[in-house]
Homo-oligomer: A and B are copies of this chain.
């Protein structure tokens, strides 16, 4: 099943490259394969090291940046922008999910909610053709809620 997805996205890349007059380089396929091996989010640096360590295929960071742009355009990867650096994740056969981001510790938790998904998809947009979306809910995770409460109590005590 997983292998099936990899084969499919490989074909999608081939089609995309052909249609747009780009070359089918081994680097591009190796990067795509690695991305569809990683589960969840990753940034360029993580991808760079994964390629070398697990993927046994060395590519430069420049090539990673170039290739990611192609893959974004081919709808094979999506980009997120929480934290300092861009985060990416595979786009094909990856259920759309929402993100809860803790403003205290930066932890990102994924969230599935059918009603919410439905509401967003059904929203009518003017002069715009939507392809995908990202919902980020900011707040404080349970762990940090307790940490914050402790801190506040201490502040009061020390006064």
- Write the residues of chain A forming the contact surface with B, with a CB cutoff of 8 angstroms: 72, 78, 81-82, 100, 102-103, 109, 111, 113, 115-116, 119-120, 123, 125, 127-142, 145
Contact = CB atoms under 8 A, between A and B. Distances in A.
Contacts of A133: 135-138
Q: Which residue, of A82, A111, A123, A130, has the highest number of chain B Cβ atoms within 10 A?
A: A123
Contact of A130 (B119, B120, B127, B137): B137
B130 A138 contact: yes
Contacts of A145: 129
Given A113-B123, A120-B116, A123-B115, A134 B136 contact: yes
A100 B115 contact: no
Contact of A139 (B78, B109, B120, B128): B128
Nearest to A113: B123
- Which 7 pairs between the two chains have the least Cβ-Cβ distance? A119-B119, A81-B81, A130-B139, A127-B142, A133-B137, A131-B139, A134-B136
A47 to B, nearest CB: 19
B141 A131 contact: no
Contacts of A72: 103
A134 B135 contact: yes
Contacts of A116: 119-120, 123
